[in-house]
């Protein structure tokens, strides 16, 4: 605390150090503000030109889109504007290569270039000039170069080949503009006229040629249209003929299929009728055979019953005789017993013979009845099958014959129609159209038509014939 008081007292007695520090601070602040003020930034639509002592043997330093420090008192700066400049050039009376004066009013758009060499040239030639002054310098250059380009071209080439004309202008003008730091952005030729009316005459000639060509094109299109109509009519006639041909073929095919189907149905009907008749006859024959077999069985059973009855009667008689013999044996001698035994053996033999006779008779009668029935059955079956096969073969033969006939007729009609259609088509093509072909055919048949007409009126009686000639009867 004591030291601070002593230092403050010392400063009160000696103020020079404080003043010196304040002066140094003020100088430093001033220098800093000056440095900040001399640091220049360049916008994108301008060029910063620093001139003075720039070093390296250059007259100026050009900066586009950056920043630089401008040393005070040694260097200074200025800006060049990069905005496009539009220049109207009302060029009149420029001589062409044919010595015809041409008026070519145009609008040019130029601007200061951003290439290093262009910026240097602009800094030398245009620095400090306003936009109007820059426009005047560019306008003088444009006038001279356009006159030079027009003097090297024909009027017809200038009017017809605009792209080449513009290319020649750019080629001639750009090097001259670069000398003062400018670049050519756009060229717009507003009109091309001449005092002698040469270009107008060329336009009239082109218009006349265009009209003539349009007339020719219209005639060509009309001719093509007439040809197309004729071809369409010819195609229509051909398609109609083909459609009629196909329709006739379809009709014949349908008729053929109808005839074939009718024949098939008739055949099936006849086969069904024959099959039903055959089955009916077979059933009748089976019923007759069954009846005959039943009758034969009944007769055989009756004969067997009769034979059995006779055998039983014989057996009963034999038994009776045996009883009689036994009774007689009781009363007779041993001789009677032998005679009775012999008689019994005879009776038994007779019974066996009767049974054998009955079986033989039954077999003979059965054979006599069944053999004709089986033979008749086999005969009927064979005859029915033969008749059915015969009718089937006949029906198939008739159907095949009808089908072949219809097919041959359809094929013949188809060939006739096809050949006739081809002949008519060739006649139409040779004559150049359906109408010409019709006239030619009428001429070919004119004698027949005349003969027919003569026959038609040959039997007509005319009371009076009036001949007109030169307006009097």
Which carries the bigger pLDDT value, residue 427 or residue 89?
89
Top-confidence range, 153-167, 376-390, 408-422: 153-167
191 φ, ψ (degrees, to nearest 5): -165, 160
Q: What is the pLDDT of residues 20-66, one digit of tens each?
A: 777 777 877 776 777 677 788 888 889 989 888 877 767 788 888 88
- What would the two tokens of residue 430 be? 């040779």
Distances (CA, A) of 249 to 244, 299, 413, 465: 8, 73, 8, 52
Q: What is the pLDDT of residues 266-280, one digit of tens each?
A: 777 777 777 767 777
Distances (CA, A) of 388 to 34, 266, 395, 396: 140, 15, 10, 12
Global confidence as pTM: 0.41
Q: Where are the domains of the chain?
A: 2-29+49-78, 80-196, 248-431
pLDDT at 421 over 60: yes
What fold is seen in the domain 80-196?
A: Tetrahydropterin Synthase; Chain A (3.30.479)
> Taking the CA of residue 350 as centre, how many other CA atoms within 13 Å lie in the half-sphere pointing to its CB?
15
- What would the two tokens of residue 153 be? 């071209």
d(CA 66, CA 62): 10
Which carries the bigger pLDDT value, residue 56 or residue 409?
409
Q: Is 253 helix (H, G, I), strand (E, B) or coil?
A: helix
**What burial class does residue 61 get, using C-beta atoms within 10 Å of its C-beta: 0-12 exposed, 13-18 middle, 19+ buried?**
buried
Lowest-pLDDT range of 233-237, 321-325, 360-364: 321-325
Mean pLDDT calculated for residue range 457-473? 56
Mean pLDDT calculated for residue range 243-264? 82
Lowest-pLDDT range of 47-51, 141-145, 199-203, 401-405: 199-203
Mean pLDDT calculated for residue range 171-182? 94
**What burial class does residue 283 get, using C-beta atoms within 10 Å of its C-beta: 0-12 exposed, 13-18 middle, 19+ buried?**
exposed
Q: What is the pLDDT of residues 5-28, one digit of tens each?
A: 665 666 666 666 667 777 777 877
pLDDT value for 1: 54
- Percent of the chain residues topping a pLDDT of 70: 68
């Amino acid at each position: 605390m004591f030291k601070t008081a002593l230092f403050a007292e010392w400063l009160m007695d000696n103020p020079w150090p404080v003043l010196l520090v304040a002066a140094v601070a003020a100088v430093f602040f001033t220098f800093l503000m000056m440095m900040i003020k001399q640091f220049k930034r360049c916008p994108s639509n301008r060029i910063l030109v620093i001139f003075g002592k720039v070093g390296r043997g250059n007259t100026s330093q050009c900066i586009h889109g950056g920043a630089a420090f401008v040393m005070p008192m040694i260097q200074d700066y200025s800006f060049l504007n990069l905005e496009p400049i539009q220049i109207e050039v009302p060029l009149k009376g420029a001589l062409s290569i044919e010595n015809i004066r041409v008026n070519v009013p145009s609008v040019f758009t130029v601007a200061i270039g951003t290439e290093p060499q262009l910026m240097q040239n602009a800094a030398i030639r245009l620095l400090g000039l306003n936009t109007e002054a820059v426009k005047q310098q560019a306008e003088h250059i444009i006038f001279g170069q356009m006159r030079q380009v027009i003097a090297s071209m024909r009027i017809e080439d200038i009017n017809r080949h605009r792209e080449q004309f513009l290319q020649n202008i750019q080629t001639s003008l750009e090097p001259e503009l670069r000398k003062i730091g400018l670049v050519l952005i756009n060229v717009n030729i507003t009109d091309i006229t001449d005092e002698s009316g040469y270009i107008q005459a060329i336009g009239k000639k082109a218009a006349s040629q265009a009209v003539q060509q349009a007339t020719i094109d219209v005639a060509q299109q009309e001719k093509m249209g007439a040809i197309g109509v004729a071809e369409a009519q010819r195609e229509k006639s051909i398609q109609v003929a083909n459609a009629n041909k196909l329709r006739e073929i379809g009709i014949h095919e349908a008729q053929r299929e109808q005839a074939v189907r009718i024949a098939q149905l008739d055949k099936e009907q006849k086969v069904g009728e024959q099959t039903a008749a055959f089955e009916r006859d077979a059933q009748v024959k089976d019923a007759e055979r069954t009846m005959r077999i039943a009758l034969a069985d009944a007769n055989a059973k009756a004969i067997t019953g009769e034979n059995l009855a006779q055998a039983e009667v014989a057996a009963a008689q034999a038994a009776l005789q045996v009883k009689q013999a036994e009774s007689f044996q009781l009363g007779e001698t041993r001789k009677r017993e032998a005679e009775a035994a012999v008689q019994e053996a005879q009776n038994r033999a007779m019974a066996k013979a009767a049974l054998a006779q009955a079986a033989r008779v039954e077999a003979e009668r059965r054979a006599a009845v069944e053999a004709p029935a089986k033979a008749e059955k086999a005969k009927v079956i064979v005859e029915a099958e033969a008749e059915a096969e015969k009718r089937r073969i006949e029906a198939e033969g008739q159907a095949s014959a009808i089908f072949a006939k219809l097919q041959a007729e359809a094929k013949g009609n188809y060939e006739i129609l096809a050949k006739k259609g081809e002949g008519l088509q060739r006649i139409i093509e040779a004559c150049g159209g359906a109408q010409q072909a019709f006239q030619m055919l009428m001429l070919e048949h004119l004698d027949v038509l005349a003969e027919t007409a003569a026959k038609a009126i040959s039997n007509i009686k005319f009371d009076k014939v009036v001949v007109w000639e030169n307006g009097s009867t």
